[in-house]
Amino acid sequence: MSHVSQAPVTTPDTEPAPPAPRSFGEVKGWFSAYDQVLFDWFLARQNDSADTKGDLLELGAFMGKSAIFLAGYLREGEGFTVVDLFDSPAPDDSNLEEVRDSYPTLTRRGFEANYLAFHEELPTVIQAPTSVVADRVRPDSCRFVHIDASHLHEHVVMDIASSKTVAAPGAVVVFDDYRSAHCPGVAAAVWEAVAVGGLKVIAVSAAKLYATWDDPEPHQAALLAWLDGRTDLWHGVDTVCGRPLVRIGDHGVAAPPAPQPLRATPEPVTPPPAPKPAPRPGAGWRRLAKDLLPPVVTRAIVSARRRRRA
* pLDDT tens-place values along the chain, 310 residues long: 434 444 444 444 556 667 899 999 999 998 999 999 999 999 999 999 999 999 999 999 999 999 999 999 999 999 999 999 997 665 655 544 544 444 444 689 999 999 999 999 999 999 999 999 999 999 999 999 999 999 999 999 999 999 999 999 999 999 999 999 999 999 999 999 999 999 999 999 999 999 999 999 999 999 999 999 999 999 999 999 999 999 999 999 999 999 999 987 656 566 677 777 665 655 555 666 566 667 666 676 667 777 776 6
Q: From residue 293, how far is each of 15, 29, 33, 209, 299 by CA, in Å?
A: 69, 68, 68, 82, 10
Beta bridge partners of 176: 208
Distance CA 21, CA 261 (A): 8
Half-sphere exposure of 4 (CA within 13 A, CB side): 4
- 129, amino acid identity: P
Asked if residues 142 and 55 have their Cβ atoms less than 8 Å apart, the reply is: yes
Q: Which residues contact 213 (CB under 8 A, 6 or more apart)?
A: 163, 164, 167, 171, 173, 198, 199, 200
Global confidence as pTM: 0.79
**Could you report the per-residue pLDDT of 75-118, keeping only the tens digit for each?**
999 999 999 999 766 565 554 454 444 444 468 999 999 999 99
- 265, amino acid identity: T
